[in-house]
Structure 1
Amino acid sequence: MHPSWQAALASARPLLENIEAKLNAHPGEFVPPIHQVMRAFEQPLDDVRVLIVGQDPYPTAGHAIGLSFAVNPDVKPLPRSLKNILIELRDDLGKAVSVGGDLARWSSQGVLLLNRHLTTDLAEAGAHTQIGWADFTDQVITVLNRKLGRKLVAILWGAQAQQLTGALCDCTVLSSAHPSPLSARRGFFGSKPFSRTNQALIQAGEQPIDWSC
């Protein structure tokens, strides 16, 4: 964690220590690797301009890297949700994007790629929903809303992410269906989240994101 996040989330330290103890005692393998679990918080809190919320890490070996929806550039084939995100990015902005899908480039520009639950079991999605991550990310959302307010644009894909709408009451919230293959054609495709986010940032006096990846 960047020191600015450590200071803002000081009250969450006992919760994180409890989660860490559960992970250390966990009998099976989990993802992402322990050194990447908090990767979303490497950038300074005050640099955050956009929030994208995922559910939990990809359960496939070698996919989860601690940033929601992101994988390493050498991962082939891409997870289907990420593939759909890149299709919408291309259609929204009208320009080609690389097939690598390196979303870490977004993170360096102030896009917080946050999963609701920061770990899961290898090969089992949603396995860690009861170990305390939701309580922790609730505190993260509260900090973002309080400190950044209207400067922050939150992109909420799917019903689980949209449960955070009320907690982001001071921010600009853009909602649509989830990019997963099960729902992408029910409102994700055509939602134009990238151009709409940049429009909202400009209106708030912020610099737009270069969504190239």
Structure 2
Amino acid sequence: MAAFDINANFTKMHRMQKNRWLSLLVLLIFMACKNPQKAPPEIQTHQINADTTSANFFPVTSFLKGQLHEIKSLPVNPIRIMIHGQKEDSAWMKLNDIENELSPFFSFTIDSANLKPWFEQKSFLDQTLNAYTFTYDPVKTLPDSISVKHFDVYVNPDDNRVSRIYIVLKKTQNSEQQLTWQTGKWARIITLLTGDDGNTTVVSDKKIIWDY
């Protein structure tokens, strides 16, 4: 009976296994070449007007006051949600309390008469958001009497209605407040503080919902 050569058979099996892996690798490369991975779709934006400084600014404050009047006429009380990291605490609000929460954003009237000499308006259609976006930024150093740092107005192109407003206010030298207003649904107010080290922390984060 012929002796069983362990070393010879192991070498033969190893060679056969190596050949199988090489064949599989060649097959995978061939398939990858025939089916190249599709590139992710690009974000499509269409520039409507890169410089619209001559256009009138959207009357943000007047619009928000109109929204506030509508909220006060609702038969339900809004809900205020305090957000602490991953935790949320909610409670019912009195209708008059909404105006108190929004008072910092009503302290300065945002319209053409007050801001046109200091801000510029730019607009574009963002097809990913399906909204015309009007952005407003300072064109020169603002006086201390103007607390507005930046604001955006989003308009639904299907019905030309304002869908969202975003405002950034300077509160102190190192802090600011941000308001995101979703028309007819909710508002969110975030207060941020920037330390001496340049790091920014959230001081408070609250959301007011009246459409639920």
TM-score normalised by L of structure 2? 0.29
- The structure whose residues are more often strand, as a share, is 2
| Larger-gyration structure (1/2) | 2
The structure with the largest helix share of the pair is 1
Identify the structure with bigger relative contact order (alpha carbons < 8 Å, sequence gap 6+).
1
